[in-house]
């Protein structure tokens, strides 16, 4: 049972039907927002309270709000998918709820119960139901829960006031070029997260620390940046916002193990399961970058891909670093990569049976 009640305070839509239809025809990623947002506030005195669904709009925040100075903030990402019968579903939300609780613990923020997390998603998606696209390709409504330190206080300690919001954004493919193979730059200069740090938490700081390396990647002609472990600079960690997989010629599916410095992706866990279901051998292990590059040259590794909620499964076509360029397979989209992608999205859009019980109905 959810303790918080996310009742709408208004039913007046921000945007008209024509404007919404125009946006839904080409949503892009992360640029358009819906009519409403869910909110709850936590205080050290009263715990979670004051929950509602409000009109989407700018927040009023003190310039001294702790988040603006010390970055005490976490977030999640999920998608709402419209099925052929008009119903709206989301994918493994309990995994996001649990990860948000782990992130909250690491960032000294209050935990929100899985029931309240789900109640906020349901209430917002019901209010914004016309914003859930009818998929023609891979459109969905991207849901972005986040929580931050809103106390007006400049002392360094965990905030005594915290705000939680969920906003929603109609989404097409994350990458503007769609499911085209990515060019990935391997940074030898920066690390994303270190031992004992916040790498496993979904906090804004991890993404902030990736931006300079990502900019260098783009300046070098790549789409994305790959980070190595901060201790030895030899093991693969992850991209700026996605986990990484390799598939060998003999059908083994490999991904870096959860060392505490990489994000425990929901898509990552789902891919491991779907690969196992196909009879493929899966392994979570340390992947040494130099060995992976050798195995790309020798043809031992035939496919690589990045994955995350936003990016789904996106093939990696090549790697670049100061020392050269390495092509993955023939540089195109690998067969197993595309098969896993199809199966995952077929489950999400209700086109094949949900044999693992991964879907939760929202509307
Ligand atoms: C997601 O995949 O949902 C994320 O939160 C990653 C972000 C780069 C969009």
Find the residues whose C-beta lies inside 6 A of ligand 1: 77, 241, 308-310
pLDDT band at 29 (very low <50, low <70, confident <90, very high): very high
Same domain flag for 130 and 241: no
Task: Locate the ligand 1 atom nearest the alpha carbon of residue 267 and give its number.
Answer: 2
| pLDDT (0 to 100) of residue 344 | 98
Same domain flag for 164 and 57: yes
Same domain flag for 146 and 205: no
Same domain flag for 158 and 198: no
Q: For residue 74, give the CATH number of its domain.
A: 3.30.470.10
Distance from the CA of 81 to the center of ligand 1, in angstroms?
16
Residue 111 has pLDDT above 90, yes or no: yes
Residue 358 in domain: no
pLDDT above 70: percentage of residues in the chain: 100
Residue 65 has pLDDT above 90, yes or no: yes
Task: Locate the ligand 1 atom nearest the alpha carbon of residue 30 and give its number.
Answer: 9
Residue 1 in domain: no
Residue 187 in domain: yes
Task: Locate the ligand 1 atom nearest the alpha carbon of residue 202 and give its number.
Answer: 5
Q: For residue 212, give the CATH number of its domain.
A: 3.20.10.10
Pocket test for ligand 1, best of 225, 241, 307 (most atoms within 8 A of CB): 241
Contact 320, 185 (CB under 8 A): yes
Whose C-alpha lies nearest to ligand 1, atom 6? Answer: 241
| Domain end (from 140, 171, 202) | 171
pLDDT in tens, 285-341: 999 999 999 999 999 999 999 999 999 999 999 999 998 999 999 999 999 999 999
> How many domains does one find in the chain?
2
Residue 274 has pLDDT above 80, yes or no: yes
Same domain flag for 298 and 187: yes
Residue 177 has pLDDT above 90, yes or no: no
pLDDT above 90: percentage of residues in the chain: 96
Residue 97 has pLDDT above 80, yes or no: yes
What does pLDDT average to over the chain?
97
Instruction: Read off the pLDDT of each residue in 5-20 and give the average, rounded to a whole number.
Output: 97
Contact 171, 142 (CB under 8 A): yes
Distance from the CA of 205 to the center of ligand 1, in angstroms?
14
Domain region containing 39:
7-171
Same domain flag for 21 and 48: yes
Q: How many CA atoms lie within 13 A of 179 on its CB side?
A: 15
| pLDDT (0 to 100) of residue 360 | 98
Identify any residues that bridge with 254 across adjacent strands, giving them in sequence order: 246, 283
Contact 328, 259 (CB under 8 A): no
Task: Locate the ligand 1 atom nearest the alpha carbon of residue 142 and give its number.
Answer: 3
E strand map for 150-291: 161-171, 182-186, 224-228, 236-239, 243-248, 252-256, 281-285
Distance from the CA of 310 to the center of ligand 1, in angstroms?
5
Q: CA angle at residue 51 from 76 to 170, to 5 degrees?
A: 40
Instruction: Read off the pLDDT of each residue in 257-264 and give the average, rounded to a whole number.
Output: 96
Residue 298 in domain: yes
Same domain flag for 82 and 144: yes
Task: Locate the ligand 1 atom nearest the alpha carbon of residue 29 and give its number.
Answer: 9
Same domain flag for 211 and 106: no
Same domain flag for 89 and 146: yes
pLDDT in tens, 193-242: 999 999 999 999 999 999 999 999 999 999 999 999 999 999 999 999 99
| Domain end (from 171, 190, 217) | 171
Residue 289 in domain: yes
Residue 31 in domain: yes
Distance from the CA of 312 to the center of ligand 1, in angstroms?
9
Residue 176 in domain: no
pLDDT band at 1 (very low <50, low <70, confident <90, very high): low
Whose C-alpha lies nearest to ligand 1, atom 5? Answer: 77
| Domain end (from 141, 171, 201) | 171
């Amino acid at each position: 049972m959810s303790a918080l009640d996310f009742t709408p305070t208004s039913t007046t839509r921000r945007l008209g039907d024509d404007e919404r239809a125009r946006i839904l025809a080409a949503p892009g990623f992360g640029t358009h927002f819906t009519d409403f947002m869910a909110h709850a506030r936590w205080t050290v005195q009263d715990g979670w309270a004051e929950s509602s669904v409000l009109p989407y709009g700018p927040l009023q925040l003190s310039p001294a709000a702790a988040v603006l100075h010390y970055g005490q903030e976490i977030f999640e990402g999920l998608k709402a998918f419209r099925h052929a019968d008009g119903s709206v579903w989301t994918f493994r939300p309990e995994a996001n709820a649990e990860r948000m609780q782990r992130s909250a613990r690491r960032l000294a923020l209050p935990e929100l119960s899985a029931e309240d997390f789900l109640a906020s998603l349901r209430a917002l998606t019901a209010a914004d139901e016309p914003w859930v696209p009818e998929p023609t390709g891979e459109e969905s409504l991207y849901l972005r829960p986040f929580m931050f330190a809103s106390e007006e206080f400049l002392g360094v300690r965990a905030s005594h006031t915290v705000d939680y919001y969920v906003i929603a954004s109609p989404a097409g493919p994350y990458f503007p070029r769609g499911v085209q193979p990515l060019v990935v730059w391997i940074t030898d200069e920066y690390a994303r997260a270190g031992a004992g740090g916040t790498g496993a938490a979904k906090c804004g700081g991890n993404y902030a620390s990736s931006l300079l390396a990502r900019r260098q990647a783009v300046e070098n002609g790549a789409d994305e940046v790959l980070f190595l472990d901060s201790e030895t600079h030899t093991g693969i960690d992850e991209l700026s916002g996605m986990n990484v997989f390799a598939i060998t010629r003999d059908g083994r599916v490999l991904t870096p193990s959860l060392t505490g410095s990489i994000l425990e992706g929901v898509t990552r866990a789902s891919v491991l399961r779907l690969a196992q279901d196909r009879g493929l051998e899966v392994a979570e292990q340390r992947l040494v970058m130099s060995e992976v590059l050798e195995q790309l040259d020798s043809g031992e590794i035939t496919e690589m891909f990045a994955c995350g909620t936003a990016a789904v499964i996106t093939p990696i076509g090549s790697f670049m670093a100061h020392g050269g360029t390495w092509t993955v397979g023939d540089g195109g989209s690998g067969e197993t990569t595309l098969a896993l992608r199809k199966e995952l999205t077929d489950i999400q859009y209700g086109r094949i049976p949900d044999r693992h019980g991964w879907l939760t109905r929202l509307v």
